[in-house]
A and B are shown apart, each in its own frame.
Chain A
Amino acid sequence: MSDKKSMILNVNGNNHQIFADMNEPLLWVLRDDLGLTGTKFGCGKGECGACSILIDGDVQRSCRFPVAYAAAGQEIITIEGLGTAGNLSELQKSFIKHSAFCCGFCTPGMLITATGLLKTNPYPSRDDIILAMNNNLCRCGSYSNIIEAIEFVVKEY
């Protein structure tokens, strides 16, 4: 019953050859085969947004995204591709500055979704932000701080 196949994934600007079941959720290939564990498992149903990634600039749920659908040359960006410790993106810096997290588990998904939003709408209103982010869940309830962090970037850059 196995549908395993060799595929090329373009993740954070690098090509990776992988051998996986074509229907396997991209999430587990990223985490287990490529070691990119910043993308989190929270529900497996596309409900919480912790597994959010960018595929060709669009925000997608990697827990529901079959790996084969991402293996046709699309550009996949994970949290690790947004910025590194020495070279953080403005959103990443702003999240730190505005204490936009408690436990931090949902943060990668929040940052990916906010990055996707600012790519399509660089000057979102507060309502635009809420609408775009509304399917990303944070049980600690850091929402106000996340909104402030995004608004800061919108205002400053």
Chain B
Amino acid sequence: MKMTRRQFLASLGGASLIFAIDILAENRTGSSSFGPVPLEREPECIADYTDTDYTNWIVFDPGENVRVFTGRTELGQGLKTVITAVVTQGLEIEPEQLTIIQGDTDQCPDDGPTIGSAACRVVGWGFWHACLKIQNYLVNSTSTKFGIASDSLEFKSGKIKIKGDDKTFLNYSEISTGEAVVIRVNPDSTVSTKQYIDKKILNVNGIDIVTGALKYVNDLKIPGMLYAGFKTPPYHKSITLLETINDEKTKEIEGIKAVEGIGGRVVIIGERYSDVTKGLSLVEAEWRTPTRAKELNIEEELRASSHLQEVKEDEGDVETALKSSAVVLSETYYTQYITHAAIETDTSLAAYDNNSGKWNVWASTQWPHKQRSQIATELKTNETNIRVIAQPAGGAFGGKIGNTVNSEAAAISNFAKAPIKLIYSRKDQFQLRSHFKAAVVIDITSGVDSNGKMIARKIDSYDDLAEGSTFVYDIPNVLTRAFKGNIPYHRAVVRGTSYVQTCFAIESHVDMMANRIGLDPFEFRRINVQYPAFVNLIDSVAENIEYSDNNKGQEGNEGIGIAMVKHGGAQLGVISAKVRVDRVTGQIEVKKICAAFDVGIVVNEPTAVVGIRGGIIMGIGYVLREKIDMDGWGTYTEYLGEYGIPRFSDVPPIIDIKFHDNLQPGGTVRGLGEMPVVPTIGSIANAICDAIGVRFYSTPITPEDIKKALGTDIENLNF
């Protein structure tokens, strides 16, 4: 449901100057699944307002204050900080004059989900383009209205004045004609370098974060509120049914208000969260034993159940080219199930408001409007009866787009006739979810000619989309197919999406090809890249990692690896890793990461750098640690420690990040939230192989795998 002109203007009052920002939606989300809005409209005009689907709003209120509206939310990627940097510099106002209204479905239009490394690129940079146009509009309107030459006008701190005359001025809002002005921008169009913003700002939530004042959903409290929690079932929800609940033992707990089966789950509602958790440990329930097999051989199930979902690339004649290749190599790579594991567990606060006759749901979400729709479906009511208010999220990573906690909280609140705060336990977070970053089986075959040029490649990826296969390497004959599996676990969007699995396979395989043809992996890549920009990035990381012919170190157990990616629109990334492998304990120490990125303009470096480092550290988790323990019946991972998200001790002592802007033409913003995760994985896998001469075909690569491969595991030790 889009917000109509009438609704929106009514909510703003009369005398404001209102800009409806139409950020052209091509590549809006970096993901094809949300559908582009047609580009048929003229992108460069300022037109009169008509009712349509505007993505964002900038409002100059009477006085000197500015409000901006976006449906996208605060997850940790720093959108609010980026918007503040952009709008204060773009409109020449002070931060105190700016209010950012984010993620409230009653106030903000639906400008898409906060995903795909696109919040800064689309919304942040879209606002920058909009601000440049608003500057023009203000000057031209003032010039026309008062007959003053436009080049004698300037504006600052919300005021327009005549140069050299500080006493005569108008507030921005006084240019208002009473009609909203539409500004159409394409965030991917270029701006000239002199228009770049240059002031870097620190996280605008900083003080609230360090004092504990920032309010996440769990920090909210409303009168009459009760807590709710689930008893985690032993089987996955899709393959079982709740049969009986025995609440005999919970009756003695006085704070418990209800024990009930709701939506196929055992729910306990209590006055305090500790009442709920105590009750959950005592309540008994039985679920129907699943009929499917408990054993889960992921490779067998995927190959048996997969159907062709998409042919990603089909060029030339792969089979013929393979026959004429000097070297052909066929391999299979495997990746594990991975989960988001945000430190904030799924939490929602839902309450029916008798005065407004509406449901208010305070959510930790990447897409409030989608949550509104899910809640409306759950409550069998119209979306207009639901207001979703996004609070800052305690991490999301793709896990808070279509998750069910908000509709579950609303359903429980509807049952209890009381405001409900539903909190997932950590165990729930691992075991109630059936969506994970997919475990993937990737068959990959390549052919190289005698000059070391890759001439053919074939990829079959089972149960993911094989993103990231294109663009990096120049291969004339390619066939890349993505197959969809039919197993009880579903693909989730988890930071890096299927680039993670695909690039682990491709980059490992490329190193193996280089080895077969007798070329250095850095040199082999220089020969085979599709765009010269990559050669610059390879040279950059080679220099910073101190690449040499002998990377083995004094003890002979060190290695250097490299991997590359082209992510999303046009984010190019090359990472080189240096690792040390302890042959006895199997421990893998990442000593150094050198990254070279071409992501266009870096809008706000402080928030960008911490995000990139975080992405690299998450990549270390994916390749060395993380794994969901599961079988055909359920998920058994219960603790953060056993799942293995990275810790302080996993952080490389040196993470060197170099931005190489303008290797590609044009001043654009291309996003960077997910891309760094991807080449981290391949570079570490390749560095391990360089260190000990063993190729690992599946992730995570653990100390046990190392010991097994080197024959230093316990079975092989001779006491």
**Closest Cβ of chain B: how far from A31's Cβ, in Å?**
8
Decide: A102 and B426 in contact? CB cutoff 8 A: no
Decide: A139 and B648 in contact? CB cutoff 8 A: no
Decide: B342 and A139 in contact? CB cutoff 8 A: yes
Decide: B76 and A96 in contact? CB cutoff 8 A: no
The verdict on A141 contacting B613 (CB below 8 Å), with A45-B426, A147-B651 known, is: yes
Decide: A102 and B212 in contact? CB cutoff 8 A: no
Contacts of A107 in B (CB 8 A): 209-210
Decide: A28 and B273 in contact? CB cutoff 8 A: yes
- B residues with a Cβ closer than 8 A to A are 75-78, 202-203, 205-216, 218-219, 221, 252-254, 272-274, 277, 340-345, 392-397, 423, 425-426, 606-607, 609-611, 613-618, 639-641, 645-649, 651, 653, 655
Alpha-carbon distance A95/B340, docked complex (angstroms)? 25
Alpha-carbon distance A36/B342, docked complex (angstroms)? 22
Decide: A37 and B272 in contact? CB cutoff 8 A: no
Alpha-carbon distance A129/B647, docked complex (angstroms)? 12
Decide: A139 and B206 in contact? CB cutoff 8 A: no
The total of chain A residues at the interface (CB under 8 A) is 64
The verdict on A2 contacting B345 (CB below 8 Å), with A88-B211, A101-B203 known, is: no
The verdict on A40 contacting B203 (CB below 8 Å), with A105-B216, A137-B647 known, is: no
The verdict on A103 contacting B394 (CB below 8 Å), with A37-B212, A44-B277, A139-B343 known, is: yes
Any B CB within 8 A of the CB of A72: no
The verdict on A103 contacting B274 (CB below 8 Å), with A41-B345, A139-B341, A141-B614 known, is: no
Decide: A103 and B211 in contact? CB cutoff 8 A: no
The verdict on A141 contacting B615 (CB below 8 Å), with A2-B254, A47-B641, A102-B76 known, is: yes
Decide: B206 and A96 in contact? CB cutoff 8 A: yes
**Closest Cβ of chain A: how far from B705's Cβ, in Å?**
23
Residue in B202, B394, B611 with the greatest tally of chain A CB atoms within 10 Å: B394
Contacts of A16 in B (CB 8 A): none
Would you mind naming 23 contact pairs between A and B with Cβ atoms under 8 Å apart?
A28-B272, A28-B274, A31-B219, A32-B221, A32-B273, A37-B212, A37-B218, A37-B219, A40-B343, A42-B343, A43-B639, A100-B610, A102-B76, A102-B607, A103-B76, A103-B392, A107-B210, A126-B653, A137-B645, A140-B76, A141-B613, A141-B646, A142-B610
Contact for B426 among A42, A105, A133, A146, CB less than 8 A: A42
**Closest Cβ of chain B: how far from A143's Cβ, in Å?**
5
Contacts of A2 in B (CB 8 A): 253-254
Any B CB within 8 A of the CB of A97: yes
Contacts of B655 in A (CB 8 A): 144
Contacts of B648 in A (CB 8 A): 129-130, 133-134, 136, 143, 146-147
Residue in A48, A79, A141 with the greatest tally of chain B CB atoms within 10 Å: A141
Alpha-carbon distance A35/B211, docked complex (angstroms)? 14
Alpha-carbon distance A41/B364, docked complex (angstroms)? 14
**Closest Cβ of chain A: how far from B696's Cβ, in Å?**
23
Contacts of B651 in A (CB 8 A): 130, 143-144, 147
Decide: B211 and A102 in contact? CB cutoff 8 A: no
Decide: A92 and B210 in contact? CB cutoff 8 A: yes
- A residues with a Cβ closer than 8 A to B are 1-2, 21, 24-25, 28, 31-32, 35-45, 47-48, 50, 78-80, 82-85, 88, 92, 95-97, 99-108, 111, 126, 129-131, 133-147
Contacts of A32 in B (CB 8 A): 221, 272-273
**Closest Cβ of chain A: how far from B264's Cβ, in Å?**
24
In the complex, the chain A residue whose C-beta lies closest to that of B206 is A96
Decide: A80 and B211 in contact? CB cutoff 8 A: yes
Contacts of B609 in A (CB 8 A): 99
In the complex, the chain B residue whose C-beta lies closest to that of A86 is B207
Alpha-carbon distance A101/B646, docked complex (angstroms)? 15
Alpha-carbon distance A37/B214, docked complex (angstroms)? 9
Decide: A134 and B649 in contact? CB cutoff 8 A: yes
Contact for B610 among A28, A92, A102, A131, CB less than 8 A: A102
Other than the given A43-B345, A139-B618, A143-B648, 6 more pairs (CB < 8 A) read A42-B394, A43-B639, A101-B209, A103-B396, A105-B343, A135-B647
In the complex, the chain A residue whose C-beta lies closest to that of B212 is A38
Decide: B207 and A85 in contact? CB cutoff 8 A: yes
Contacts of B614 in A (CB 8 A): 102, 140-142
Decide: B211 and A84 in contact? CB cutoff 8 A: yes
Decide: B395 and A145 in contact? CB cutoff 8 A: no
**Closest Cβ of chain A: how far from B316's Cβ, in Å?**
40
Contact for B77 among A85, A102, A106, CB less than 8 A: A102
Alpha-carbon distance A1/B606, docked complex (angstroms)? 53
Decide: B274 and A78 in contact? CB cutoff 8 A: no
Decide: B205 and A104 in contact? CB cutoff 8 A: yes
The verdict on A40 contacting B617 (CB below 8 Å), with A48-B343, A105-B394, A134-B649 known, is: no
Decide: A102 and B219 in contact? CB cutoff 8 A: no
In the complex, the chain A residue whose C-beta lies closest to that of B614 is A141
Alpha-carbon distance A97/B203, docked complex (angstroms)? 9
Contact for B213 among A38, A41, A100, CB less than 8 A: A38
Alpha-carbon distance A40/B591, docked complex (angstroms)? 32
The verdict on A42 contacting B647 (CB below 8 Å), with A107-B209, A141-B616 known, is: no
Decide: A143 and B617 in contact? CB cutoff 8 A: yes
Decide: B345 and A42 in contact? CB cutoff 8 A: yes
In the complex, the chain B residue whose C-beta lies closest to that of A37 is B219
Contacts of B208 in A (CB 8 A): 104
Alpha-carbon distance A90/B289, docked complex (angstroms)? 56
In the complex, the chain A residue whose C-beta lies closest to that of B618 is A141
Contacts of B647 in A (CB 8 A): 134-135, 137, 143
Nearest first, the 10 A-B pairs at minimum CB distance are A38-B212, A103-B76, A105-B394, A141-B614, A141-B617, A104-B209, A102-B76, A79-B212, A37-B219, A96-B206
In the complex, the chain A residue whose C-beta lies closest to that of B617 is A141
Decide: A139 and B645 in contact? CB cutoff 8 A: yes
Decide: A106 and B253 in contact? CB cutoff 8 A: no
Contacts of B216 in A (CB 8 A): 40, 105
Contacts of A141 in B (CB 8 A): 613-618, 646
In the complex, the chain A residue whose C-beta lies closest to that of B207 is A85
Alpha-carbon distance A82/B219, docked complex (angstroms)? 19
Contacts of B219 in A (CB 8 A): 31, 37
Decide: B207 and A139 in contact? CB cutoff 8 A: no
Alpha-carbon distance A140/B218, docked complex (angstroms)? 19
Decide: A43 and B215 in contact? CB cutoff 8 A: no
**Closest Cβ of chain B: how far from A93's Cβ, in Å?**
8
Contacts of B640 in A (CB 8 A): 43, 45, 47-48, 137
Alpha-carbon distance A111/B205, docked complex (angstroms)? 16
Contacts of A96 in B (CB 8 A): 202-203, 206-207, 210
Decide: A44 and B617 in contact? CB cutoff 8 A: no
Alpha-carbon distance A143/B210, docked complex (angstroms)? 15
In the complex, the chain B residue whose C-beta lies closest to that of A84 is B211
